[in-house]
C-alpha cells in the first residue's frame, strides 16, 4: 500500500470499491491528478511571465544621464567696449521769441470844445464801467521793439501742453468705494441686472468677472471683461457696470488717483 500513488486511478478505485461511484466525490477524485498538474503549470507560467514583464519594462525605459550645467561666472564676462564716452547730441537751436510792442500806450490830452467831443471818447464813471460788457485787461506787456515789433494781439498762435493721462493704480492707500459700501454695490447690480432671454433659453449661467477704472473724479471708465462665459451675459455685465453712479475715488499720498477695480457679476437661473 505504501507504493500506491495517491493521485493515481488505482488508488481512486480502491477507495470507492463496492461504493456508489455515481456520487460526485468519485469524479472529483478521478480528476485530482490533472487538476494538480494544471495548477502547477499555471503557477509556473504566471511566475515566469511576471519576471519577464519586469525585465521588459526595465529594458524599455531609457537610462537617464546626468546633464552637466555650465555656470558662467559674472567675473569671467568681458567688459563691454565703450566706443565714445564723450558723445554729445546735437541740439537744435530754439528760435528767439518775436519782437513785440508794448501794450501800454499814453495818449496826450487834447483840449476840445464840448460839442466836438464824441460820446465814446468821454471818460466813463466807475458805475458805467461796472455795467459795461466790455472786458478790460489789467495785464500790460512791455515790448522790446516799439518801432518794428509786432502787436501782441496779432499773435494767434497759442502753445498748449497736453497732460498725459495718469496710469491707473492696482493698489493704493485708500481704495475707491461705492457710495454705501460693498453691500450697496451688490444691491445696485442686482436691481439693474437683466438676464438675457437667449441665455435663459439656452440654460447658460455662471460668473462674469469685470475690471474697470475708477478715475480720480470718481467716474467709471475702461470697462473690460477678465473672464467670459457668454457674449450676451458679458454685454449685459458691461452695461450694468457702465451705468454705475459716481464713486468715492481712491487716494494715494493724499491725492485722488485712478485705480483698477474688479467686480464679479453672477448670473444664476432660478
Q: Is the pLDDT of residue 239 over 90?
A: yes
Q: How far apart are CA 116 and CA 235, in angstroms?
A: 77
Q: How far apart are CA 86 and CA 72, in angstroms?
A: 32
Closest CA to 224 of 213, 234, 210, 243: 210
Q: Is the pLDDT of residue 132 over 50?
A: yes
The H or E element that residue 51 is part of is: helix 32-60
Grid cell, residue 51, equals: 519576471
210 and 237 Cβ atoms separated by less than 8 Å: yes
Q: How far apart are CA 162 and CA 39, in angstroms?
A: 95
Q: What are phi and psi of 83, to 5 degrees?
A: -75, -45
Class of domain 182-267 (CATH, top level): alpha beta
Predicted model pTM: 0.42
232 and 199 Cβ atoms separated by less than 8 Å: yes
Domains of the chain, residue spans: 182-267
pLDDT of residue 73: 47
3-state secondary structure (DSSP) of residue 268: coil
Mean pLDDT of 30-55: 82
Confidence of residue 49 (pLDDT cuts 50, 70, 90): confident
Amino acid at each position: 500500500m505504501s507504493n500506491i500513488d495517491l493521485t493515481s486511478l488505482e488508488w481512486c478505485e480502491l477507495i470507492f470499491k463496492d461504493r456508489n461511484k455515481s456520487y460526485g466525490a468519485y469524479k472529483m477524485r478521478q480528476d485530482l491528478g490533472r487538476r494538480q498538474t494544471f495548477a502547477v503549470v499555471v503557477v509556473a507560467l504566471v511566475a515566469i511571465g511576471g519576471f519577464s514583464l519586469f525585465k521588459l519594462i526595465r529594458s524599455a525605459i531609457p537610462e537617464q544621464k546626468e546633464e552637466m550645467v555650465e555656470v558662467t561666472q559674472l567675473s569671467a564676462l568681458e567688459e563691454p567696449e565703450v566706443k565714445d564716452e564723450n558723445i554729445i547730441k546735437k541740439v537744435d537751436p530754439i528760435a528767439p521769441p518775436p519782437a513785440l510792442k508794448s501794450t501800454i500806450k499814453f495818449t496826450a490830452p487834447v483840449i476840445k470844445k464840448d460839442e466836438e467831443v464824441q460820446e465814446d471818447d468821454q471818460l466813463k464813471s466807475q458805475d458805467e464801467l461796472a455795467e459795461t460788457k466790455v472786458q478790460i485787461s489789467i495785464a500790460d506787456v512791455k515790448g522790446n521793439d516799439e518801432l518794428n515789433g509786432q502787436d501782441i494781439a496779432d499773435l494767434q498762435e497759442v502753445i498748449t501742453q497736453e497732460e498725459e493721462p495718469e496710469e491707473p493704480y492696482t493698489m493704493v492707500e485708500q481704495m475707491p468705494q461705492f457710495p454705501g459700501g460693498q453691500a450697496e454695490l451688490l444691491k445696485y447690480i442686482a436691481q439693474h441686472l437683466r438676464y438675457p432671454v437667449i441665455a435663459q433659453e439656452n440654460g447658460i449661467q455662471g460668473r462674469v468677472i469685470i475690471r474697470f477704472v475708477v478715475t480720480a473724479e470718481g467716474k467709471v471708465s475702461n470697462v473690460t471683461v477678465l473672464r467670459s462665459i457668454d457674449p450676451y451675459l458679458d454685454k449685459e455685465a458691461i452695461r450694468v457696470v457702465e451705468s454705475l453712479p459716481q464713486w468715492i475715488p481712491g487716494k494715494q499720498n493724499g491725492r485722488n488717483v485712478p485705480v483698477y477695480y474688479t467686480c464679479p457679476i453672477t448670473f444664476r437661473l432660478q
